Amino acid sequence: MRFLLSSALSTALAVGLAGCTPSPPAQTSNGTAGQPADPAAEADPASGSGQGTVTIAGDDAAEDIQQWTPPRVDRQGRTLAQLRRAAEQAFAQGHLYEDGDAAVPLWLAVQEEEPDDRQARQGLQRAKQKLLQQADALLQRPLQQREALAEAGRQALVLLTLAPKDEKVRALQGRVETAQRVVAYNRAGEDDLRADRIGEAGDGAIGNFREALALDPNNRRARQGLAAAESGLIRRAEDAARIRDFASAGAWLAEASKVRDSSPTIADAFERIEQIRAAALVQLRDGGLHDLTTPQGLKPAREKLAEALRIALPGDAVVAQLRERIELATHYGSFRPGQVFSDALRDGGRGPQMIVVPHGGFQMGASDTEPGATDAERPSHYVRFERGYAMAITEITVGDFERYVKATNARPRATRRGHSVVYDERSGNFIRRSGVDWRSDYDGGRALGNSPVMHVSVRDAENYATWLSEQTGRSYRLPSEAEFEYAMRAGSSGRYPWGDAGLPPEGSGNYTGSKDVSPSGRHWHNAFVGYGDGWWGPAPVASFQANGFGLHDMGGNLSEWVADCWHASYRRAPADGVAWFNPGCRSRVIRGGNWANAPEQTRAAWRQSQDSDTTSARIGFRLVRGI
């Protein structure tokens, strides 16, 4: 019988059966069990070693024991009568099978010469009964389980050789194997606990103890092991809370709650962690209020507020008090350039991770001499932001968008229409394909949760922003063209988002490169020569380096919807960077290159008109938030 066990369990079983072989099996080069390392174990049983052997085979040698080979009996100068008397004497002394002078090998030797020998047959029957009794007693021994199981295992192997079809023998073999596996799983679980491998993902200590309980539901040792594992996870939760990492504390406590059903220790631990959180928030609030009474106290007060927001649950009154006092004192938000945050949602989750873009000014658009530029990108004009704004660090993901769809029962444009534009590997073209919507990847397959959401129209993006605003009580929206280009350039003024170099820096983004290869071996005809990013199609968000403002994929991966209506040039464009929007317009703007754009379309000033109902494998979006 073959069992698929963990390596720790295999080792434990091998130890449990060590009495049957001179040494554990050596591992051969092809991964199957080899011969024992001990020269005595390698010897032929007929060579005179006088020891019994255990034959093993298969990929799981320690678990795939086939039979017991009786030790060699020295028959030289001994008659059958002498062998019978020796067997009876050995049986009377309880010397049943261990070596060539034991009762079972002697009776088997008699049977070799006289197959119908009645005394030998009866003797072997008595030995079988005796071994069954001894093995049963060993299995019920509460202490020294390893030694008892090892001995019971050896006896079961002897019995299998004597009576392989006997139901009692087969039942004993099953009990021995089960008991050995339970002990091995428990030992492996205890080893994992000592090494802090608790196994919250289902492996490690928890997995081993659960395997033991699956075999023996009332096993006390395994139940105690699960209780210890639960305590270990609770300890991690409380340790995290003490350093104000309440997200990890909650995660560890959630894992601990899965270990045992209805454990009262979880509720107690939750109360302790919430007491730690409450004390930390009061300390931060009191410290922030004191900071505001000092001449230079605004910065430390803001820092305390940020820390309180990070660890507080949504709607916490203590945090709200501190935030209100700071806003009243400064008439300005409690943020700083480069600060990363995410707003709490009313449903208990968190919004997209945002980063505060510093205020400042830049020259928007393309110069008259820029290669590849069009009139739609001119005239170049100066735009200044008097106040910073927060922008999503990455494109909105499939997972982000799924939360909105489920919460509102929304039916985005491609879902209602039943199709979208995808890349077709067979033809190498973009085609319209049925059954594709926001859940789909660039080729129509299922998208990963951390992939940027595509196949969404500009109205789908705006509806998501409206929902997020309602959830957080903050103002989320699509960025204006000016906000997008300013954030994409991140202080640079070159032709491309990274500057004037004609080749993207290694690892800077998902662009069309000559080294990129499609699943069927296609290459781009118009690409950055010598560049490759390892992706044919959009990559998961934040797969590449962030730009100088801490934003990912602004110039590549997916082009992105912005709030502006399409205008054929920048004549009379707003100078303060707000969206240039005309109510009722159908042609909207996308900005930023994508995974399937020509190099000219990856320029920082590139812009393109799209119908507002367009959905495609090349267009996604991100949001900004006022601060």
Model confidence pLDDT, tens digit, residues 595-607: 999 999 999 999 9
Q: Is the pLDDT of residue 147 over 90?
A: no
In whole numbers, what is the pLDDT of the chain averaged over residues? 86
What stretch of H or E contains 385? strand 381-385
Which tokens in the block code for residue 465? 């922003």
Q: How does 332-356 read in b/e, with b if 16+ C-beta sit within 10 Å? A: ebbbeeebebbbbbeeeeebbbbbb
In the 8-state DSSP scheme, what is residue 25?
E
* Phi and psi angles of residue 63, each rounded to the nearest 5 degrees, phi first: -105, -5
Say what percent of the chain tops pLDDT 70.
87
Instruction: Give the strand order in the sheet containing 559-565.
Output: 607-611, 587-591, 559-565, 619-620
Q: Is the pLDDT of residue 481 over 90?
A: yes
Q: Is the pLDDT of residue 270 over 50?
A: yes
Which tokens in the block code for residue 561? 């919807």
Quote the CA–CA distance of 297 and 291 in Å, as a whole number. Answer: 4
The pTM score is 0.52
> Which pLDDT value is given to residue 135?
84
Closest C-alpha among 48, 54, 63 to residue 8: 63
Quote the CA–CA distance of 468 and 429 in Å, as a whole number. Answer: 35
The amino acid that residue 187 corresponds to is R
CA atoms within 13 A on the CB side of 315: 6
Quote the CA–CA distance of 14 and 239 in Å, as a whole number. Answer: 38
CA angle 370, 618, 588 (to 5 degrees): 70
CA angle 311, 316, 321 (to 5 degrees): 105
pLDDT higher for 22 or 165?
A: 165
> Which pLDDT value is given to residue 597?
96
User: Residue 530's pLDDT band (boundaries 50, 70, 90)?
Assistant: very high
Closest C-alpha among 153, 140, 73, 149 to residue 105: 73
pLDDT higher for 581 or 48?
A: 581
* CA 122 from centroid of its chain's CA atoms: 61
> Which pLDDT value is given to residue 6?
34
Neighbours of 309 (CB within 10 A): 20
User: Residue 7's pLDDT band (boundaries 50, 70, 90)?
Assistant: very low
* Contact (Cβ atoms closer than 8 angstroms) between residue 34 and residue 42: no
Closest C-alpha among 621, 608, 610, 593 to residue 454: 621
Query: Would you list the DSSP string of 474-523?
Result: S-EEPPPHHHHHHHHHTT--SSBTTBS-SSPPTTS----BTT---TTS--
In the 8-state DSSP scheme, what is residue 562?
E
What stretch of H or E contains 235? helix 220-242
Q: What is the pLDDT of residues 29-52, one digit of tens each?
A: 333 333 333 323 333 333 333 445
> Which pLDDT value is given to residue 386?
77
Say if residue 599 is preceded by a cis peptide, omega within 30 of 0.
Answer: no
Instruction: Give the strand order in the sheet containing 354-357.
Output: 340-341, 354-357, 389-392, 624-625, 476-477
* Contact (Cβ atoms closer than 8 angstroms) between residue 615 and residue 507: no
Which tokens in the block code for residue 169? 């023998």
* Phi and psi angles of residue 479, each rounded to the nearest 5 degrees, phi first: -70, 155
Closest C-alpha among 416, 420, 418, 417 to residue 430: 420
In the 8-state DSSP scheme, what is residue 604?
T
> Which pLDDT value is given to residue 397?
98
DSSP-assigned beta bridge partners for residue 440: 446
Quote the CA–CA distance of 275 and 217 in Å, as a whole number. Answer: 37
> Which pLDDT value is given to residue 493?
93
> Which pLDDT value is given to residue 144?
61
* Contact (Cβ atoms closer than 8 angstroms) between residue 231 and residue 239: no
**Using CA atoms in the order 320, 321, 322, 327, what is the torsion angle rounded to 10 degrees?**
80
Q: 394 by DSSP, 3-state: which? A: coil
* Contact (Cβ atoms closer than 8 angstroms) between residue 532 and residue 544: no
Burial status of residue 201 (CB atoms within 10 A of its CB: 0-12, 13-18, 19 or more)? exposed
> Which pLDDT value is given to residue 157?
87
> Which pLDDT value is given to residue 136?
86
CA atoms within 13 A on the CB side of 394: 24
Q: What is the pLDDT of residues 342-372, one digit of tens each?
A: 999 999 999 999 999 988 899 999 999 999 9
Quote the CA–CA distance of 324 and 221 in Å, as a whole number. Answer: 55
Determine how β-strand 340-341 pairs with β-strand 354-357: antiparallel
User: Residue 334's pLDDT band (boundaries 50, 70, 90)?
Assistant: low
Give the residue carrying structure tokens 């943020």: 335
> Which pLDDT value is given to residue 21?
31
> Which pLDDT value is given to residue 49?
39
Q: Largest Cα–Cα distance in the chain?
A: 121
Of 41-55, 164-178, 233-247, 577-591, the poorest mean pLDDT is in 41-55
User: Residue 513's pLDDT band (boundaries 50, 70, 90)?
Assistant: very high
